[in-house]
Amino acid sequence: MRTSATVLLAGVLVATCASAAGAGLASRATRHEVVLTHQPQLFLDDDVIGSTVNLKRAMRVAVRYEHNPVLPVDRPWEAAGVTHPCVLYDSEAKLFRMYYTAYATRAGASGAGALACYAESTDGFTWRKPELDIQPFGDSATSNILFGSEPEVLFLHVTMTPHDPDRMFKAVFTRRNPPGQRGVGGLFTTFCTDGIHWTKPRCISRTKCDTMPSVVWYPPVGRYLIYTRAQAAHPQIPGHMRMTGILESTDFERWTAKQAVNLLTEADGWPRAQVHDIQAHVYGDVLLGLVGMLHLPQGAKTGSNKGARWDVELATSRDGWRWQRIGHGGFFGRSLAVRGDTFYLYHDDKAGTLAADRLVALQLVDGRRQGILDTRPVRFAGRELLVNGDVEAGDLKVELIDEKGPHVQFQSKPLRGFERDRSRLIRHDKLRWRVRWKADGKPRSLADASPHQPFVLRFILNRGSLFAFQVLE
């Protein structure tokens, strides 16, 4: 078991993940060392944080695209709407690729239902639906349909795997029988080299998997992870409560059986609060999860979705199993694509953007006092320290704390020549600053402190917001 605790609900073994939605950060100290990669270190969780004072987490709000919707309904096979986009940016082709579900008819009506479709864009906002000869529809010999409707294909989720170029694009989806013969057909995988011409789908689970799945290759654990639906009973409410099902594979061929994991505890509102689905994305060293949440109304007598409130939360994980929720609802986006210094977020037919790494800010609780963040002791191979912050040059100071000397929270001895008063911020780009120190009339960088590892990075914030730091070669 990879999780922190387990509970037994109606005879079903359920792993329960700790949640720590963070409006604030607890002040604490630890000497556990962290080896830094060259990826941005976002302050989404406490993995690199040793101690804080007078700082809180604040979610950032995506800027909605002014010309939404970005995906108009303009094909016969989209007559009943389009939903559930999965968008990724193909840096080699310099192309955004979107995989979405189109409904030709209302659910339950006769005829074709859900279809997996494809669109592409050069800017993330203006989308083209190519005419492909893969799947005809009605009198049309061509369409942008990738998979047909008998049985229906829903919620195609695609990821790119550069480490496996012969199977560059990999996908998971759910399948159900045609209208009039409803029944969940299970969870399927497929792959291809061009993002369009897919191999014959292969069933990996016949269990109930009728919510939007997601698949990632997560390098830190060397595994593929699929997130889908699981369920269990609860004595308070009759019916099935939604949870998260996880499957693992090292080769995309052999998969573990689905394991039910509950990201919520009763303190989080379970069972009236339920995780509907997780849309997982790899970003640097971490997994980002766009979590669909269901909130059953007070007095709900069954686990049915009827009357439930639905919203999206942000979560993060470092092993794929234990997830930390951040904030409580209100996050825009069910799919995340990254190009350069911009995050592109998509929700059904709408789009929005955020600046890179600026999902969550550290801000002052009391604007009259400084905020201080000490990292855990760090080791690294690099020469430059970058800080992603919405600050002016005098708003943030950085000093390096000698980990070998006596350690008292926020009072430990700085490395000589790397005290806060010697630090300077030099503009690197529109989002980031390079950190320098000046001692004995000479400028110093992180490379000059390298022989003193491990040490603690201390950030002293006077105004503004702090999002991330990064060590570069």
DSSP string, 200-218: PPEEEE-S---SPPEEEEE
Which strands form 323-326's sheet, in the order they lie side by side? 273-283, 286-295, 309-317, 323-326
Q: Which contacts (CB < 8 Å, 24+ apart) does range 88-94 have?
A: 88/158, 88/159, 88/160, 88/337, 89/124, 89/337, 89/338, 89/339, 89/344, 90/160, 90/195, 91/339, 94/122
For residue 208, give both structure tokens. 């109930």
So what's the pLDDT on residue 68?
95
Q: Is the full-model pTM beyond 0.85? A: yes
Residue 174 CA to residue 154 CA, distance in Å, equals: 5
Cα–Cα distance, 320 to 131 (Å, whole number): 37
d(CA 309, CA 473): 47
Neighbouring CB atoms inside 10 A of 314's CB total 23
pLDDT at position 10 is: 28
Half-sphere CA count of 112, side-chain side, radius 13 A: 23
DSSP letter, residue 70 = S
Q: Is the dihedral of CA 42, 44, 49, 55 positive or negative?
A: positive
Q: Are 390 and 364 in contact (CB under 8 A)?
A: no
Spatial contact of 51 and 29, defined as CB atoms under 8 Å apart: yes
Identify the residue whose tokens are 């979705």: 305
Q: Determine the 3-state secondary structure of 268 from DSSP.
A: helix
CB 326 within 8 A of CB 44: yes
Helix (H, G, I), strand (E, B) or coil at 326: strand
3-class secondary structure, 191: strand
Q: What is the DSSP letter of 321?
A: S
Q: Which parts of the chain sit beneath pLDDT 70?
A: 1-31, 106-112, 149-150, 177-184, 404-411
Report pLDDT digits (tens) over 21-55.
333 454 444 558 999 999 999 999 999 999 999 99
Instruction: Provide, rounded to the nearest whole percent, the portion of the chain with pLDDT above 90.
Output: 68
Burial of 461 (0-12, 13-18, 19+ CB in 10 A): buried
Give the separation between CA 65 and CA 465, rounded to whole angstroms.
Answer: 24
- φ, ψ of residue 328 to 5 degrees: the values are -135, 85
Report the alpha-carbon distance of residue 123 to residue 351 in Å, rounded: 12
How does DSSP assign 415-451, residue by residue?
Answer: PTT--GGGEEEEE-SSSEEEEEEEETTEEE-HHHHGG
Closest CA to 292 of 278, 306, 272: 278
Residue with tokens 């998997």: 209
Q: Would you state the pLDDT for residue 441?
A: 83
Q: How far is CA 169 from CA 143, 217, 280, 361, 462, in A?
A: 21, 11, 16, 33, 46
